[in-house]
Chains A and B, each alone.
Chain A
Amino acid sequence: MSHEGEGHQIGYERLQSKKSLKEILEVATEFERTARDFYTALIPNVSKRIRYLVEELATEEQGHFDLFNELAANPSIENEIERAVAVPVSDSRFSDCIQLPDLGENPDDQTVLQYALGREQAAMEQYTALAESTESGVIHDLFVFLAREETLHKQALEKLYYEVVHSGGV
């Protein structure tokens, strides 16, 4: 886990330093891949009772990973792939979340959900900031689309969090 964390710290630094759309998408794709791998590795470490949650997160991240690969192969994106993009200064939340945490031996559902929520929040803010820093056009539309995707996922997780944590106490 700590090894992966170091890898992601490097990835984060790369994200800050890169300027072309291609490089941004590469780092973002890597961001999704490592998240998928993180959740996949976590599956056997959690109780079967809450395994559905980690499996769903892994599946969701796989979907994001596939999406980024498709985007990279999209002709309209390909045409813009070398275009320089003013990458905004990523906020500290994004920095915190890009480093994979140690959730402990046998994390419970609340721990997993809190981590996932923080990560989705950071991704949403990052893509929103990227969208705001680009002019109208294909690249802007791309980041708006990605921000919306992350927002939807975050909202779904928030609903689940409320059901899991704030239930049964009435």
Chain B
Amino acid sequence: MSDIDYKEKGSILNPLKSLQFFARKAVTEPLEPRLASLSYRGFHLNDWELCIGCSSCQKVCDNAAISMIEIPGLPSDPLKGVRNQRPAIDYGRCCWCALCVDICPTGSISLSREYVHTCTQEEIDSYFILPDPNGIHKKFYGYGWRKVADSDLLNLKRGEMGERSADQRSDNFDEIVDGYSLEQAVAEASRCVQCGMCHDACPTHMHAPEYIRAIWQQDMEEAVRQIYRTNPFSHVCGRICTHCCETACSIGRRGDPVAIRWLKRFAMDSLDHETVKAIAAQDKVDYLSGKQIAIVGAGPAGLTAAFDLVKLGHQVTVYEAQAEAGGMTRYGIPEYRLPFDMLDQDVDVIISLGVSIEYNTRIGVDIELSQLQLDNDAVLLALGLQLGRSTRIPGSEHAQVTKAVDLLRKIAADEAFDVPRSAVVIGGGNVAMDIARSLARLQRQQYGESRMTLTALEDLAHFLADPVEIKESIEEGIEILDSRGPQACEIDEKGRLIGLRTWKVLSIFDEQHRFAPSYDESDEQLHAGEMVIEAIGQMSDVSLLGDELTERLEWNRGRLQVDEAGRTSEAWLWAAGDCVNGPDVVHAVADGHRVAASIEAVLGQQETDHES
């Protein structure tokens, strides 16, 4: 301090200098703060009606000034991409950079033109605020910095996916979708804001933000590692997953959701098969538990459980009635949507870990379920919905009236059958589209033209099929007739099926949305066809249980009753997949994990009890 000359030695007359101001006009300023500019970055505003609690603002904030606060009473629905959280701002950290505004997927956050806040020491917490549309002091000073196209950090447009045109695809079973190039995949991955809404919505809670980030970093091994944390059917799900992740994607609020499914497909296709196998085996234990587990059904649920259990050191045998594994993913989904070699790769990864599959082995016929109980420490039923429902309308017992699932199975197994020159499908779901498109391809291959008609109770806007399936079906020449109620399969005097007779559907549901179809009987049509295919619903074949076990088991409105972990009322028996939940692949995968964890817990407890 000694070297600083802090002692002012001014003139003694200095105070008199202030007298010069006496004659000047006083300058006054209002106590209210001056209005800031239109793009001022003042205190935050947040429109709670628009905000979905995605936390993108929190993640982008370099100063960690934003915390997500759970608000009781707000809606929370992972499948719709809504969290009951709202961002709170710590103005001790905020630097008003407005990145939170620029990245907000919904545009709910903006900055106001308000910038003054003072308080006493006791009120210091008032610098931590939960912004709402009214402003920090419940007085709206007007919008300052808001999201505009120039400052928006989001790319709202999805990268185009190349696919075969209708002409290129409609006479063959080649895969329709091309898949992304590396450049396309990285660009698409860069659209992700890492909010994790996809993770919450996914039935098996795939680590999509992590694998998307890895793809963006061009680290495909890391991407596949993240994928395999929760999904051993990743080639399959990369192609035909129902992708509720994309429905929940926050980018989809204002633009196209990130193509999460196609990114997964890209990552999986990027690595050679041996590398995928090595990644899948990374956390497999190096000992045998001595426990044996039998799984009935080599579909996604059964094989996912097998994947988990074999990695825990258990000996797992899967019994499959068909000649190949995959369940409905092989025998229910056409190859142009899911190439068999992709499914084969997923299955081969699981087998490579030590899972044994007994093909062409039908439980209840070749081996009794009771035998599996005797020979194993646990038994898992992982049955699909392999039986088709019938409308049971007059004429539906005719030999040329068949179920879609039966015909799809024949096509997948390459079994010979007489391809009809014309056919009528009943149903408006994906299975109906699958069989219509598959038969149309076979017709073109054999006859050079296709004559397929699809009729459904629902109007086109309420079809259960994915919109893309409907669009592609129409492109491929399928005649889709909506709001048609099947009345009879018409048979001529020689006993030949000639088509399907329908009435116009006036309504399907009543005011309470209960199924109560009403028809205009005067609007009757006959849709010509040598074959009628029913694709209205499916169910599991539980005949393998036998009468005695069926009686012993508890049921829940037509389905096996299981607890939250998938265990039935019989201590040795678990159930998973479409026969208890479903029906789609990713739910089956989630079910397989859940049941495997339950089996592991029970076997572990038995071991502990035995030791003590």
Contact = CB atoms under 8 A, between A and B. Distances in A.
B515 interface: yes
A170 B469 CA distance: 12
Nearest to A49: B555
B553 A48 contact: yes
Contact of B392 (A114, A155, A159, A170): A114
B550 A159 contact: no
Contact of B582 (A49, A156, A168): A168
A21 B559 CA distance: 44
A170 B515 contact: no
B542 interface: yes
B515 A52 contact: no
Contacts of A114: 392
B514 A49 contact: no
Interface size bracket, B side: 20 to 34
A167 B582 CA distance: 10
Given A155-B516, A159-B515, A166 B557 contact: no
B386 to A, nearest CB: 10
A50 interface: yes
Nearest to A168: B538
A169 B514 contact: no
Contact of A49 (B431, B512, B550): B550
A166 B427 CA distance: 9
Interface residues of A, number: 23
A168 B539 contact: yes
B550 A158 contact: no
B570 to A, nearest CB: 13
B516 A47 contact: no
B567 to A, nearest CB: 18
A109 interface: yes
Nearest to B556: A52
A94 interface: no
Interface string A37-49: 0000000000111
Interface string A111-128: 000100000000000000
A169 B389 contact: yes
Nearest to A108: B539
A10 interface: no
A155 B512 contact: yes
Given A114-B392, A158-B515, A170 B464 contact: yes
Contacts of B512: 155
A16 interface: no
A109 B537 CA distance: 13
Nearest to B557: A52
Contacts of A162: 515
A155 B293 CA distance: 45
Most interface-central of B431, B515, B551, B553 (chain A CB within 10 A): B515
B429 interface: yes
A106 to B, nearest CB: 10
Interface in B542-601: 542, 550-551, 553, 555, 557-559, 578, 582-583
A166 B514 contact: no
B185 interface: no
Nearest to B537: A169
Interface string B172-211: 0000000000000000000000000000000000000000
The 4 A-B pairs of least Cβ separation, nearest first, read A162-B515, A168-B538, A170-B429, A170-B464
Given A155-B510, A169-B389, 16 more contacts: A48-B555, A50-B558, A51-B555, A52-B558, A53-B558, A156-B514, A158-B514, A158-B516, A159-B515, A166-B515, A167-B537, A167-B538, A168-B578, A169-B427, A169-B464, A170-B464
